[in-house]
Amino acid sequence: MEDRVLGLHHITAIAGNAQRNYDFYTKVLGQRLVKKTVNFDDPETYHFYFGNETGTPGTIITFFPWEGIQQGRNGAGMATNIGYSVPEESLDFWKDRFTKFSVSAGEIAERFGELYLPFQDPDGLNIELIVPDKEDSRKSWQTEEVKTATAIKGFHSVTLTLRDIEATAKILTEVFGYRLFKQEGNRYRFVTDAVENAAIVDLLEDPQAGSGVNAGGTNHHVAFRVKDDNILMEYREKILSRGLQITQKIDRDYFYSLYFREPGGVLFELATDNPGFGTDESIDQLGSGLKLPKQYEGYRARIEKALPILR
């Protein structure tokens, strides 16, 4: 089973103001800042990782907060919604909390037999808090205001919007090992039994969907999880055999990655469990210091001066 795709690893999105992004995810949603580093291709921009205590794969949302970036727009060929798993009977707590912090939120509704609460982060990113039909046993990070009984457990699902789901569905089923679980209207739910959680991908088929703009408040890519870099390279061959372009293995310091664009247009990443976020900080110190990729360490003073001050 360990040579399979193990559900979601992380999801990366684009934000605007760094302080606002940090405040919302740590103070309002109660997530831990697991790693504060920089964009590999733009080292004067932060790369934040938010998740549970140790940054377990399947709990991590990451952001590139580009100051002053234009507002994005969801469209075909994009990940258009992130689903977080929360404990049973916690949605009223979150609805009240969103009111308190003036968060744009919808009404509690039901889909596939599960209750969910839709909302948007300050940049307009679409997120849902979902009570899964099976208990989520993952240990959540808790804060003074967001305790275990209501705290986010990690990812439940991700939604991809596509004009035609067929080619994307084949990647999920024939390469990644997912299966079609259920359909509601134009939403098709795919699941994997390789893991208990972060195991769902919803494909939303909309032939009339317009083109999106990948900027503030949109998702940049979706990363799927594999155990290690040996298995990662096996998947590289599988992707190449289907006639798709895929990158060479990239060392992201905390995991190894491959990137490819699936036939529907969504940027997919395959990312490893190893080596993890504890390579340069102890667990109790995660996220406390600015960690730079080794190629930028010699420019630390200049980078620190360019980055927005984070309070």
pLDDT at 194: 97
Measured CA to CA, the distance from residue 95 to residue 310 in angstroms comes to 28
Q: Tens digit of pLDDT for each residue in 142-165?
A: 999 999 999 999 999 999 999 999
Percentage of the chain with pLDDT > 90? 99
Cβ(182)–Cβ(137) below 8 Å: no
**Over residues 269-297, mean pLDDT:** 96
**Over residues 121-150, mean pLDDT:** 97
Q: Which residue range(s) make up the domain with 129?
A: 8-306
**Over residues 125-134, mean pLDDT:** 97
1 within a domain of the structure (yes/no): no
Nearest Cα residue to 49 out of 11, 19, 79: 11
- Dihedral sign from CA coordinates of 204, 189, 14, 224: negative
pLDDT at 78: 98
Number of folded domains that form the chain: 1
Eight-state DSSP code of residue 54: T
Neighbour count for residue 288 (Cβ, 10 Å): 12
Q: What is the mean pLDDT of the chain?
A: 97
**Over residues 199-217, mean pLDDT:** 97
pLDDT at 217: 98
pLDDT at 3: 87
Retrieve residue 301's tokens.
């003073």
pLDDT greater than 90 at residue 220: yes
Find residue 179's DSSP bridge partners.
Answer: 191
135 within a domain of the structure (yes/no): yes
Percentage of the chain with pLDDT > 70? 100
3 within a domain of the structure (yes/no): no
Return the CATH number at 67.
Answer: 3.10.180.10
Measured CA to CA, the distance from residue 210 to residue 283 in angstroms comes to 43
311 within a domain of the structure (yes/no): no
pLDDT greater than 60 at residue 1: no
pLDDT category of residue 310 using cuts at 50, 70 and 90:
very high
Q: Tens digit of pLDDT for each residue in 247-257?
A: 999 999 999 99
